[in-house]
Amino acid sequence: MKALFRFVMIGLLVIVLAACSKESKGSSDELVVYTARSESLNELVIPNFERETGIKVKTITAGTGELVTRVESEKNNPQGDILWAADVTMLHDKTDLFEEYVSPENEYMIPQFQNKTGYFSPAFADPTVFIVNTELAGGEGVITSFQDLLDPSLKGRIAFGDPVNSSSAFQSLMAMLYAAGNGDPLSDEAWDFVEQFIKNLDGKIQGSSGQVHRGVADGEYVVGLTWEDPVIHYIINGAPVEVVFPSEGAIFPGQAVQIIKGANNLENAKKFVDYLLSEEVQTKAGQELTVRPLRQGVELADYMIPESDIKLFPEYDEMFVIEHTEEILSRYVDIVERSLE
């Protein structure tokens, strides 16, 4: 009888502990965010989210590749709740790392940037651009196209990240391929251009997107391939740089936010996604920062270049890119390795 009583009590204890554990996942006042977003965007969103919700946010800031690798390594014991980094093309084959969640705010986003996968919620867009140090380049309007990047005088003076690990570098590579291939990123002409471009890098490849734009702003490099957001930020703060949309065209990917699978603070993570997509945050970001909100009807600040003035590639097909990402990265790595022999 005592043994039976003990067995029942142990069973009840297990149920209570499990219930408490489940409750703590959904009702805590904490949230851990892995972010590769700019300091200005983090500062606009996170302190206001904390004030409005009472949830205390711990941020881990690093490059996109490093954060994705961290989520993968922690798969069996998640330490983060939110991954605020990358775009769908970089994460499309990693859905096993994330929770399915479509925010009720999703219906108000621009249709082509709505969450159609069930996992990834594009919140802001950041077009691919050049950052040019105007003092080193000899003025504004000197470097305007991908073709200009093959100039021998720029050898070893171009900042470019690693497309395998950097979302901005991958999208810049795609823009280059679409430009050089006249709309066909897999053509021989496109890859011949990439090979010439890599030779002009002279073996210098940056470890993160931050190193790319900082290297140009600090005068270490003449030109870099990056996102628009940090470049506009440098300009506003008086740095001798300009933002250049390549004359051939640009790519306009949506930077997504996603909930990490097994998140310890699941309900808080959902609130964070909802908050990023909310009219309040999207409007503030559009008026005060240098990112492009993706909620319908939100206006941009006067210092941002109107979207109507940005040339995009009409042939760009995100699904095509997703389906060929592995092939594209494999060809890129092969060219880099051969260039170092």
What's the pLDDT score for residue 65?
A: 87
Residue 318 carries which side chain, given as an amino acid letter?
E
Q: Taking the CB of residue 339, how many other CB atoms lie within 10 A of it?
A: 13
State the DSSP code for 302.
Answer: T
Consecutive H or E run containing 333: helix 318-339
202 backbone φψ class: left, alpha, beta (φ>0; ψ -120 to 50): left
Phi, psi of 289 (to 5 degrees): -120, -165
pTM of the shown model: 0.82
Rg (CA), the chain: 22
Percent of the chain, pLDDT > 70? 92
Give CA–CA dist 40/285, Å, rounded.
9
Residue 13 is predicted with a pLDDT of 44
Q: Are 215 and 159 in contact (CB under 8 A)?
A: yes
Tens digit of each residue's pLDDT (9 = 90 or more) over 292-324: 999 999 999 998 988 888 999 989 998 899 999
Helices (H), 74-144: 88-91, 134-137
Contact (Cβ atoms closer than 8 angstroms) between residue 298 and residue 67: no
Q: What is the pLDDT of residue 120?
A: 97
Token look-up 């603070």 returns 265
Buried b (16+ CB within 10 A) or exposed e, 128-165: bbbbbbbebbeeeebbeebebbeeeebeebbbbbbbeb
Tell me, what's the pLDDT at 4? 45
pLDDT value of residue 86: 87
Q: What is the DSSP string of 214-228?
A: HHHHTTS-SEEEEEH
Residue 293 · residue 285 · CB < 8 Å: yes
- CA distance linking residue 70 with residue 1, whole number of Å: 50
Strand residue runs (E) in the chain = 30-35, 56-61, 82-87, 121-125, 128-133, 158-159, 223-227, 241-244, 254-259, 292-293
Domains in the chain with CATH codes = 28-125+254-304 (3.40.190.10), 128-252+311-339 (3.40.190.10)
Q: Tokens for 268?
A: 């808080």
Q: What's the pLDDT tens digit per position in 37-90?
A: 988 899 999 999 999 999 999 999 998 889 999 999 999 999 999 999 988 888
Residues (pLDDT < 70) of the chain are 1-27
pLDDT at 22: 42
Rounded Cα gap, residues 148 and 248, in angstroms = 11
Helices (H) and strands (E) in the chain, counts: 12, 10
